[in-house]
């Protein structure tokens, strides 16, 4: 039985992956570093500690990791203030699921960005718990952020469902033992091997319903009503 649902943020509720990509690419190139497809793919799902260190050690940005992190977050917040790229149907989907289960959010974003996005979108009121991967030892695809979300909800991970869009996110939620509902990001889709691990794959958030989160329970409720 599902007792709670954990959502991802970037690429799922806000279409921010392109914003992250643009901000980091501009910054890295300004600082004389390397930014190509290999770097872009490597960064997806990393925690702030991981991607700032990667940009310094691998991509050749001369600034220290903390300075890299601070400047990228500053630019991201400025972009969000200008326009928050909320995914169509995100508020309605979250509201549908929140009407039935307690919700958590497990994100690779920095804490200031999570709070800014949830406040600006009006989604903050739906989430009992929010966790940034900068608050756990490892970022996605490690399960740490999902395990911490379940812990803060006081629900066993195996009794949680996760809603994810990315390759690393699907793998992280699955490694945590959760039922995984994938809503692939069109611009940065997960690989087929990750999608094969998902328990359900949807075309958009409009298809996200309680029946998708817990099919067996939906069938039982229907039988009971009859």
Outline where the chain has alpha helix (H): 17-30, 37-43, 48-57, 65-82, 90-98, 111-121, 144-153, 167-175, 192-195, 210-213, 215-225
Using one digit for the tens of pLDDT, what is the confidence trace for 12-43? 999 998 999 999 999 999 999 999 999 998 99
Q: Which domains does the chain have, with CATH numbers?
A: 4-15+86-225 (3.40.50.1000), 17-82 (1.10.150)
pLDDT at position 218 over 70: no
- pLDDT for 217 equals 62
Using pLDDT thresholds of 50, 70 and 90, give the confidence band for residue 225: very low
**Residue range 145-164, pLDDT digits in tens:** 999 999 999 999 999 999 99
pLDDT of residue 44: 84
* Res. 224 pLDDT band, cuts 50 70 90: very low
Task: Tell me the pTM.
Answer: 0.90
**193 CB burial (10 A radius; 0-12, 13-18, 19+):** exposed
Share the mean pLDDT of the chain: 94
pLDDT for residue 222 is more than 60: no
Six-digit token string for 51: 């991607």
* Most confident among 31-45, 86-100, 210-224 (mean pLDDT): 86-100
Q: What is the mean pLDDT of residues 218-223?
A: 47
């Amino acid at each position: 039985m599902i007792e709670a649902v954990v959502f991802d943020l970037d690429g799922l509720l806000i279409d921010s992956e392109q914003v992250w990509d643009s901000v980091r690419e501009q910054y890295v190139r300004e600082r004389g570093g390397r930014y190509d497809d290999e770097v872009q793919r490597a960064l997806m799902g990393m925690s702030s500690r991981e991607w700032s260190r990667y940009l310094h050690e691998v991509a050749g940005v001369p600034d220290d990791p903390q300075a890299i992190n601070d400047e990228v977050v500053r630019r991201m917040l400025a972009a969000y203030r200008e326009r928050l790229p909320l995914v169509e149907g995100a508020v309605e989907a979250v509201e549908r699921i929140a009407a039935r289960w307690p919700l958590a959010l497990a994100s690779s974003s920095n804490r200031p960005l999570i709070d800014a996005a949830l406040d600006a979108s009006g989604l903050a009121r739906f989430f009992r718990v929010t966790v940034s991967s900068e608050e756990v030892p490892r970022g996605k695809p490690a399960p740490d952020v999902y395990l911490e979300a379940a812990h803060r909800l006081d629900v066993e991970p195996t009794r949680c469902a996760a809603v994810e869009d990315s390759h690393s996110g699907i793998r992280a939620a699955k490694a945590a033992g959760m039922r995984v509902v994938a809503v692939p990001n069109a611009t940065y889709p997960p690989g087929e091997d990750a999608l094969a691990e998902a328990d359900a794959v949807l075309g958009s958030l409009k298809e996200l319903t309680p029946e998708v989160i817990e099919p067996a329970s939906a069938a039982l409720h229907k039988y009971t009503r009859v």
